[in-house]
A and B are shown apart, each in its own frame.
Chain A
């Protein structure tokens, strides 16, 4: 259990800024996901927290204590790597026992031959054995303790890596894309297991991923990173419904949010595809971008029309790809009822409720809607 605070963390590699001043506070016992596209600096940030990489400037505090001059092992954090990074020459048991042996045995007791003869080592080894077996029991890997990592499947290796992290009861767990080497089915299963592990251990989890679905499904809070900056943090629902940047809106959610070109009129009203929306804002007149999530598009009624160019029926839901008439644009609508799908190449009308709309300025920042408008948006009024 730990509270971790990052202040103004900067990092550059060979003159390229990889982290451009990250300020963030992770509360005790949170499951926080750092999510963002590949190369945005997530792993670098995690490695700075772990102490594996020194930052160029800024501080890391763990439980209020600055840890910048403290070695990785002394920070008492555990890390699970994407490649699992198990010691290939050691058995599962020894892999999990390494952190305990490093911490509990003295240098002499760790000596290969001589050390094993010492009576004090034997007593400590008994405790280590008990601890490792307890962890193996919890993770269902007890039958695998004698095997080498090479003889384990991907999912089993992953559990061993988690076991090695758990065994020393760290202040916080750091995960760097731990599921990305697993096949799709196992990944979904492991998501649930990790979330459950978090509930059971009540420890702070920092979870790095480029997969927004993992972040959405497991975490109590999501921090979205782009290009070395942390652009938004909040609960999954907040991030999904109220993205404050168009990059967040586009990154979170699958299929991607639909973005349509819009215009803000002088009176604050908003036009999209030549049709006025029943809402307004205080921003200056000019171009804007209008985002609507696929599930908020109502197919069958509305002021717009489009042609069905592609249908994806997943059984429980379906996605309709529409080419908007006269705009040269496409959008995706999600239909919950797969029994009444429009035909391919047919023309359909569509629209969306005013409260489904998120408006962004040309730089990508969210434009707030006017308060009285927001009030009215509660009733689903079609534009």
Chain B
């Protein structure tokens, strides 16, 4: 899979780095070190420079993510509509801090700035589903939809620190 992703891009062309990293992340969910090493050789760029670019942009992850990615909008419009409380509610329901993945690898909690749905602020986005105008009270109900087995609901204690 890595080969195909990288081979689409011309050899030795450094300008394709960002789309290449985006494709790798789409394929693997994060940027695995061995794939980056391969990509570095392919486009003729030191791995350290790729690391520099990958860590500059918020989008890229160097560690695997959970099955469900929860993105909480902390943009201005959402902040004015109390997104801080929503984030706190999610943090305590999942026992995770932003950037962490639960031990059972089911949830990753992330913070983003504005996902372009300001008119229905506060917004959270789980995988590709958007939830607008949400309140702290709804959090448990929303999370239930993404629990693997109902018995495990909201008790994913002791997070594993990734990132």
* Binding partners A and B: no
Chain B interface (Cβ < 8 Å from any Cβ of A): none
Chain A interface (Cβ < 8 Å from any Cβ of B): none
